[in-house]
Amino acid sequence: MASFNLACIDRDAHCDWNALKDRYLEGGGDARGFRSEIGTDWRKEPKTISDSEIASLGTIRELQHKLRATGFMPHGEIDGIYGYRTLSSLRLFQEYVRGIEGDKSMDVDGIFGPETSNVLNSWVSSNRTADWADPHGRYKKAMAGLPRIKEYFLDSDLKEVKLLNQRAAISDSRAVKDWTFDPGEVHLVGIRRRVDYTKVDHKERTVRENDDLFVLLVNGMLWVFRGSTDPSPYMADRKDIPFLLRGQHEYRNGWHQWSREASYRAFRPANKGVLVVRSVDGNQLSDASYDQIQEPNPTINIHWSGAGGFNYSAGCQVIAANHYKDFRNETVDLTDRVSIGQKDLSSKKTRGAYNTMLDLVTVFQKESGRKGSKLLYTLLWEEDVGNALGDTEADFAGAVKALT
């Protein structure tokens, strides 16, 4: 069956594999090619599409034009190269049709085959475009509330604020005065929920579920994902596990555990690393944790956390796969099509909600690649929102309240 996938190219496409590092690999260690989203194999050489594939599906440039016309590839080059941005654009189209519209005629796998081609062609022929409008105004509420949270931190005497202001210059963590909430940028807001430290396992370790919130603010839309902002005591290889400082941090597109076979696309600290504090009380965070100055940590990524039943993190910020709330504030349940872990990945079992978040960021970033991609990640605690904004429905506090 004819299909296009990662690393396919048109016959006349200019594909300089030595230039892939900056243009496509987005943080990879070398330019060996494209890495499969499902398995661990490298696409080390481009696959030029065949006559039969052109007859059945058209060219990759035609696909890219269709994705742009329907609102799923607003940025990026129409270059005839099936790179990561084209993959994310197509996969976002598949998720929109299946997850949001309920049409299950195709998998959400990033592969362009006959089923996806038929649906996309029907959109093009009827001049349909994605309706990204925010029906409840949640994006505006959030963007209006975030500057007030910044003011709250500027006026506070929190130890995090002092550390951020003292050490921002040597890290990817910003001093509070430098926090920005420009609507033209892509923002991810992590909200650490209140922790019940009485809930422990048989080894007296705090059990942290994937019940924190991640609010993605992109292209005038607000999406919500679940996961964890805390390290798991089961994943760390040392007792003084790292906690990311609440505050705003610069991330970019990259890879989680690049050197390992199970590596996959994720978000990494932009340059030097982000600021963390380490626990001095087992796996809990206490006031004493802030007394020890730490160097910027370049390994605190934002990545996938399986289906959602376990926190796969030794300090990273992780996204569970089993469901999300879309821009209409409706829950999309992915339980029947998410992988529990890496070994279960296939065209039918994917990283689910995490892929949706990754694709939204990739599609709506105005620039991509190692030099251009940027994601501003602001980590807050649930009480920060309440203290700064109160319990009003008119701003970000109201948006958060509706999600909990």
- Say what the pLDDT of residue 230 is: 87
Strand partners, 377: 188, 249
SS3 assignment, position 229:
coil
Please name which of 247, 258, 236 lies closest in space to residue 296, comparing C-alpha atoms.
Answer: 247
Please name which of 197, 199, 192, 256 lies closest in space to residue 227, comparing C-alpha atoms.
Answer: 192
- Say what the pLDDT of residue 208 is: 65
Summarised one tens digit per residue, pLDDT across range 98-115 is 998 999 888 999 999 999
- Dihedral sign for Cα atoms in the order 116, 121, 123, 124: positive
**b/e map 312-336, b = 16+ CB within 10 Å:** bbbbbbbbbbbbbbbbbbeebebee
In a structure prediction context, what are the per-residue pLDDT tens digits for the chain, which is 404 residues long? 789 998 899 998 877 666 655 555 554 545 566 777 776 677 777 889 999 999 999 999 999 999 999 999 999 889 999 988 999 999 999 999 999 899 988 899 999 999 999 999 999 999 999 999 999 999 999 999 999 999 999 999 998 899 999 999 999 999 999 999 999 999 999 999 876 545 555 555 566 677 899 999 999 999 999 999 988 777 766 778 889 999 999 999 888 876 666 778 899 999 999 999 988 766 677 788 888 778 899 999 999 998 887 777 888 999 999 999 999 999 999 999 998 888 888 888 999 999 999 999 999 998 765 556 789 999 999 888 888 887 665 566 666 665 55
Please name which of 404, 365, 360 lies closest in space to residue 132, comparing C-alpha atoms.
Answer: 360
